[in-house]
Structure 1
Amino acid sequence: MQKVLVTGEYILFSHLQIAMKDHYIILAGLGFATLIMAWLPSIAKKIKVSSPIILLLIGFAMHAVAIPLGWPDPLWSDKELMYFSEAIVIISLMGAGLKIGDNFSLKSWLKPMLLVFITMPICMVSAYFLGSYFLLLSLPSSLLLAAILAPTDPVLAAEVQLDDPLAEKSPEDNVRFTLTVEAGLNDGIAFPFSYMAVLVAQAGSWAAFDLTGWILDEFLLKIALGIIIGLVIGRLIGFLFDRLHHVSGVKTFVGFLSLSLTIMTYGLSELLHGYGFLAVFFAGFSLRYYEKVSGDYKKKLHDFITEVEHLLLVVWIILFGGSIMNGMLGLTDWKGVVFALIFVLLIRPIAGMIPLIFIKKEKIKEKLAISFLGIRGIGSVFYLSWAFLQFDNFEYKNELYAITAYIILFSIVLHGLTAPSIIAYFRGKAEQTTDFRS
Structure 2
Amino acid sequence: MYLLPDPYILALTGTGLLIALVAWLPLALRRLPLSLPIVCIGIGAVLFLLPQVTLRPLPLLYPQITERFAELLVIIALMGAGLKIDRVFGRRRWAVTWRLLGITMPLGILAITGLAGWMLELPWTIALLLAASLAPTDPVLASDVQVGPPKTGEEDEVRFGLTSEAGLNDGAAFPFVHLAIILAANAGSGQPWFVEWLTYRVLWEIGGGILGGWLIGRAFGWLTFHVPAETKLSKTGDGLIALSATFVSYGLTEVVHVYGFLAVFVTALTFRHTHREHDFQGEMHALTEQVERLTMMVLLILFGGALVSGLVDAVTWIDVAVAATILLVVRPITGWIGLLGFPAHRGEKLTLAFFGIRGVGTIYYLAYGVNHMTVPEAERLWGIVGLVILFSILLHGLTVTPIMRSLDRQQGRDPDADVMSSGG
Is the aligned partner of 1:261 residue 2:242? no
Larger radius of gyration: 1
Sort the Cα spacing of 1:26 and 1:331 in 2 relative to 1 into closer, same or farther, 3 A: farther
User: Which amino acid is 1:424 matched to?
Assistant: R
**Could you tell me which of 348, 353, 366 is aligned with 1:384?**
366
Aligned residue for 1:287? 271
**Could you tell me which of 65, 73, 78 is aligned with 1:93?**
78
User: Which amino acid is 2:239 matched to?
Assistant: G
Sort the Cα spacing of 1:294 and 1:245 in 2 relative to 1 into closer, same or farther, 3 A: farther
Aligned residue for 1:372? 354
- The CA distance in 1 between the partners of 2:188 and 2:407, in whole Å, is 48
Deviation at 1:403, TM superposition (A): 0.5
Residues 360-404 of structure 1: CA deviation (Å, up to 9, x unaligned) = x3100000000000000111111111112212x222111111100
Sort the Cα spacing of 1:21 and 1:256 in 2 relative to 1 into closer, same or farther, 3 A: same
- The CA distance in 2 between the partners of 1:305 and 1:370, in whole Å, is 25
Contact kept in structure 2, 1:25 and 1:68, CA below 8 Å: no
Structure 1 segments of 4+ aligned residues over 4 angstroms from their partners = 103-106, 247-250
Contact kept in structure 2, 1:165 and 1:295, CA below 8 Å: no
Helix, strand or coil: the match of 2:229? helix
Helix, strand or coil: the match of 2:6? helix
Contact kept in structure 1, 2:59 and 2:66, CA below 8 Å: no
- TM-score w.r.t. structure 2 length? 0.92
Deviation at 1:127, TM superposition (A): 0.8
- The CA distance in 2 between the partners of 1:404 and 1:180, in whole Å, is 22
- The CA distance in 2 between the partners of 1:120 and 1:249, in whole Å, is 41
User: Which amino acid is 1:289 matched to?
Assistant: H
- TM-score w.r.t. structure 1 length? 0.89
Q: Where does 1:110-259 land on structure 2 (aligned, <5 Å)? A: 110-169=95-154, 173-205=156-188, 207-246=190-229, 251-259=235-243
- The CA distance in 1 between the partners of 2:46 and 2:228, in whole Å, is 50
Q: Where does 1:373-412 land on structure 2 (aligned, <5 Å)? A: 373-391=355-373, 393-412=374-393
Residues 211-233 of structure 1: CA deviation (Å, up to 9, x unaligned) = 11101110111001101111111
**Structural RMSD (CA):** 2.2
Contact kept in structure 1, 2:40 and 2:297, CA below 8 Å: yes
Larger deviation: 410-419 or 106-115?
Answer: 106-115
Is the aligned partner of 1:420 residue 2:401? yes
Contact kept in structure 1, 2:209 and 2:253, CA below 8 Å: yes
Contact kept in structure 1, 2:80 and 2:288, CA below 8 Å: yes
Identity in percent: 36
Deviation at 1:298, TM superposition (A): 0.5
- The CA distance in 1 between the partners of 2:387 and 2:6, in whole Å, is 34
Aligned residue for 2:57? 72
User: Which amino acid is 1:150 matched to?
Assistant: A
Sort the Cα spacing of 1:206 and 1:49 in 2 relative to 1 into closer, same or farther, 3 A: farther
Q: More helix by proportion, 1 or 2?
A: 1
Aligned residue for 1:302? 285
- The CA distance in 2 between the partners of 1:176 and 1:155, in whole Å, is 14
- The CA distance in 2 between the partners of 1:348 and 1:65, in whole Å, is 37
Deviation at 1:31, TM superposition (A): 2.7
- The CA distance in 2 between the partners of 1:73 and 1:153, in whole Å, is 21
Sort the Cα spacing of 1:248 and 1:376 in 2 relative to 1 into closer, same or farther, 3 A: closer
- The CA distance in 2 between the partners of 1:241 and 1:104, in whole Å, is 21
Contact kept in structure 2, 1:349 and 1:371, CA below 8 Å: yes
Residues 63-120 of structure 1: CA deviation (Å, up to 9, x unaligned) = 2334638331474421010000000000000001001114787533111111111000
**Could you tell me which of 244, 254, 279 is aligned with 1:270?**
254
- The CA distance in 2 between the partners of 1:381 and 1:247, in whole Å, is 44
Sort the Cα spacing of 1:140 and 1:103 in 2 relative to 1 into closer, same or farther, 3 A: closer
- The CA distance in 2 between the partners of 1:299 and 1:84, in whole Å, is 26
Sort the Cα spacing of 1:124 and 1:249 in 2 relative to 1 into closer, same or farther, 3 A: closer
Aligned residue for 2:29? 44
**Could you tell me which of 319, 344, 350 is aligned with 1:362?**
344
Deviation at 1:342, TM superposition (A): 0.3
Contact kept in structure 2, 1:103 and 1:168, CA below 8 Å: no
Sort the Cα spacing of 1:168 and 1:66 in 2 relative to 1 into closer, same or farther, 3 A: farther
Deviation at 1:280, TM superposition (A): 0.3
Aligned residue for 1:8? none
Sort the Cα spacing of 1:427 and 1:103 in 2 relative to 1 into closer, same or farther, 3 A: farther
User: Which amino acid is 2:249 matched to?
Assistant: T
Helix, strand or coil: the match of 1:340? helix
**Could you tell me which of 16, 22, 40 is aligned with 1:55?**
40
- The CA distance in 1 between the partners of 2:266 and 2:404, in whole Å, is 25
- Across the two proteins, how many residue pairs are aligned to each other? 413
Deviation at 1:126, TM superposition (A): 0.7
Contact kept in structure 2, 1:75 and 1:328, CA below 8 Å: no
Larger deviation: 215-224 or 70-79?
Answer: 70-79
Deviation at 1:256, TM superposition (A): 0.8
Contact kept in structure 1, 2:136 and 2:166, CA below 8 Å: yes
- The CA distance in 2 between the partners of 1:338 and 1:209, in whole Å, is 36
Residues 280-321 of structure 1: CA deviation (Å, up to 9, x unaligned) = 001011111112x65210100000010000010110000000
Structure 2 unpaired stretches of 5+: 416-424
Helix, strand or coil: the match of 2:29? helix
- The CA distance in 2 between the partners of 1:300 and 1:245, in whole Å, is 21
Sort the Cα spacing of 1:264 and 1:212 in 2 relative to 1 into closer, same or farther, 3 A: same
Larger deviation: 236-245 or 219-228?
Answer: 236-245
Deviation at 1:34, TM superposition (A): 2.9
